[in-house]
Chains A and B, each alone.
Chain A
Amino acid sequence: DIVMTQTPLSSPVTLGQPASISCRSSQSLVHSDGNTYLSWLHQRPGQPPRLLIYKISNRFSGVPDRFSGSGAGTDFTLKISRVEGEDVGVYYCMQATQFPWTFGQGTKVEIK
């Protein structure tokens, strides 16, 4: 199974400041079809997760452009250019390159 490792696990941030989360996979996420199936999801307390980014850097419908994804192979990053109050919660990276699909442990973003 592909292991997904996120850092940091906790990230206190100041409103209006940037934030960054890293995700590393135990093997390359490049699929045989040439795509890299790495996504980022956000979960607020008591809510289901919601999709932010898919295939490394594509923002899902309605996701603000302050969210961006980058990376390749085994190393990926989610960046929030200016953190807003609604951005608190837990962020997960997820790979869908091979079954079983696996998630990172989650990174908790909270306001300082």
Chain B
Amino acid sequence: QVQLVESGGGVVQPGKSLRLSCAASGFTFSRYGMHWVRQAPGKGLEWVAAISYDGSNQHYVDSVKGRFTISRDDSQNTLYLQMNSLRAEDTAVYYCAKDTGSTFDYWGQGAPVTVSS
């Protein structure tokens, strides 16, 4: 069965960096695009970033452009989100999600990130 397991979340000071990982199993990782979606405490869902199945294309929400980088390592079946220059408004649970080509069909349990001094 498909499993997505995020790790790397935690508490970090404003301006610092954090890298999230998402370990994938149960499907052929290299065939699918992948995404990061976040949810601030008590708020709705916000799409953050996407990477194509072959890593050749990335897309970002405007609020993270230039600060976050999505990447993948198909040899490790792992998705990453490098987050630099973190701000208080980046505080959220970060989910990785598998792309069907038209939506997300599977989600991880989420990694909480708190940006606070």
Contact = CB atoms under 8 A, between A and B. Distances in A.
A48 B100 contact: no
A109 interface: no
Interface magnitude class on chain B? 20 to 34
B103 A102 contact: no
Decide if the interface of chain A is mainly helix, strand, loop or mixed: loop
Interface magnitude class on chain A? 20 to 34
Interface of B: 35, 44-47, 50, 59-62, 95, 100, 102-110
A92 B95 contact: no
26 contacts: A35-B102, A37-B103, A39-B102, A39-B103, A48-B95, A48-B109, A49-B45, A49-B104, A50-B107, A51-B103, A51-B104, A51-B105, A54-B103, A55-B102, A94-B45, A94-B103, A96-B102, A99-B59, A100-B60, A101-B50, A102-B47, A103-B45, A104-B44, A105-B44, A106-B44, A106-B45
B108 A48 contact: yes
Contact of B44 (A60, A92, A100): A92
Interface of A: 35, 37, 39, 41, 43, 48-51, 54-55, 60, 90, 92, 94, 96, 99-106
